[in-house]
A = this chain, B = another copy of it.
Amino acid sequence: MAYLQSMPKSETIKLREKHIGAACQLFFRSSPLKIVRGIAQFMYDESGERYLDCINNVAHVGHCHPHVVEAGRNQMSLISTNNRYLHDELVILAKRLVRTMPGPLSVCFFVNSGSEANDLALRLARIHTKRKDVITLDHAYHGHLTSMIEVSPYKLNLPGGPEKPEWVHVAPVPDVYRGKYTYPKDSKSEEELGKMYADEVGKLCRLAESNGRGVCAFIAESLQSCGGQIIPPHGYLSNTYKHVREAGGVCIADEVQVGFGRVGTHMWAFETQDVVPDIVTVGKPMGNGHPVAAVITTPEIAKSFADTGVEYFNTYGGNPVSCAIANAVLDVIEEERLMERAFRVGNHLLARCESLKHRHRLVGDVRGRGLFVGVELVTDKEKRTPATAEAKHVINRMREEKILISRDGPDSNVLKFKPPMVFSTQDADRLVDTLDRVLAELDGTRISNMTLEVRVTPLDDTSDKDVLRSNAQQAMKAI
């Protein structure tokens, strides 16, 4: 069934090229998708073609969940104004959010995006500690704002990216597969690896102290997503937080991508590491697509902010519609027991992906928590050489199979799964079965590069070149 469009796709593309900044990039650039409909874990293009959505963590409780749509519609027709007036939806949301957090985290600030939340978190940390130096993880991404790019090596590391400010200190990613300390090379004990990585943050704390300024804050996603779906070793965050606090800094947990039950065992990913942050930022899944986010902190830090006497006013932040929608998302998470589902389906997905590791030459590592899963592709399992071009090829092939996945990590070689939480075991099976098939196609490419060349010809132009270049290089080595 084709859907009603305002204009043919070619016209949409033409207008987009003319009127939307080219820095806003399309997914599948040479042949982008026009998505006109979403239901639960599925998205539909203009021709009615259905895609299994394995990447849209924003559509947390499923695309267009009727309870959320209804809540938005109701509140939109009643009132939407700023939080200089009292409103029940605002305080109910605050109370419910706080109830999911450990005790000291009891004061909320509502904003419109994860970027705004992280910006405010850093501002709170600065005001509270009266310091500026920030420790961030390599390859971390905390948002698109000027203040966030400064602490996002994901952007700073790019060739055209801005320069790293000298008050930003970059700690190594606690990646035990391809990071500074790996398993089993540097240690067979997860705890020890956790300590080794935490000690790196400790060193940076002392560096910040030695420059006479001291550390203001440590900011990190509880599980690093853009960095490549990283699951830090046990004890990493607890030891890191200890170092930071001993140095007088505060600890910020960025839960924008990984919060709201995605990890399956807990509502917040920091809980899997047994820590209590000083400031938590939440966003993306919070409004199931509606722009709403929040900062949750301790009464002490909130008081430091209020004590400046400077008002914090965010025009749309905490407006009744945003709050009603966020409350509805919490309703669905509870009523449909989505956290338990993320645990059950996530474990199934993880186990099935694990089996791919033994069957395919490209699958180097499989890791995850709940419905946050990464499959790292390598061209050499021993050397753990990133299979960047192959990962791009897989994404494109999966799209042909009507399954949307993406890739990330500093070498863009980690397949990333973070589907809406209504994802089912059947969906997981379809995802893994298809991936199995696509990887099998690639298993033969070392032997027959020519076969692959023919195979990928109809695909994305750029993809072709990358894969062909990589294959050519391998062939050269073989010769």
Contact = CB atoms under 8 A, between A and B. Distances in A.
A113 B315 contact: yes
B79 A315 contact: no
B19 A308 contact: no
A454 B302 CA distance: 38
A40 to B, nearest CB: 12
Given A64-B76, A76-B64, A311 B23 contact: yes
Contacts of A43: 79, 81, 85
Interface string A118-147: 011011000000000000000000001111
B64 A21 contact: no
Interface in A5-36: 5-7, 9, 12-13, 15-16, 18-27, 32-36
A108 B19 contact: yes
A152 to B, nearest CB: 11
A104 interface: no
Interface string A234-269: 000000000000000000000000000000000000
B16 A90 contact: yes
A314 B149 CA distance: 13
Interface stretch (A155-163, A334-342, A352-360, A467-475): A155-163
B27 A85 contact: yes
A406 to B, nearest CB: 9
Most interface-central of A5, A37, A113 (chain B CB within 10 A): A113
A306 interface: yes
Interface stretch (A184-192, A284-292, A387-395): A284-292
Interface residues of A, number: 105
Contact of A309 (B12, B64, B87, B159): B159
A33 B87 CA distance: 9
A2 interface: no
A425 interface: no
Interface stretch (A214-222, A316-324, A371-379, A438-446): A316-324
19 contacts: A7-B88, A15-B92, A19-B94, A19-B95, A19-B108, A20-B107, A21-B108, A21-B297, A23-B310, A23-B311, A24-B311, A25-B84, A35-B79, A35-B87, A58-B315, A73-B76, A80-B288, A112-B113, A116-B145
B160 A310 contact: yes
A88 B6 contact: yes
A37 B79 CA distance: 5
Given A20-B108, A72-B73, A12 B91 contact: yes
Interface of A: 5-7, 9, 12-13, 15-16, 18-27, 32-38, 43-44, 56, 58-59, 63-64, 66, 68-69, 72-73, 76-92, 94-95, 98, 106-109, 112-116, 119-120, 122-123, 144-147, 155, 158-161, 283-284, 288-292, 297, 302-303, 305-316, 318-319, 321-322
Nearest to A77: B69
A146 B160 contact: no
The 3 A-B pairs of least Cβ separation, nearest first, read A160-B308, A80-B289, A19-B94
Given A63-B79, A106-B18, A112 B291 contact: yes
B86 A26 contact: yes
A109 B21 contact: yes
Nearest to A5: B88
Given A16-B90, A38-B81, 15 more contacts: A12-B86, A12-B88, A19-B106, A21-B107, A21-B305, A23-B306, A23-B312, A24-B312, A25-B313, A38-B78, A112-B316, A116-B116, A119-B145, A146-B146, A161-B310
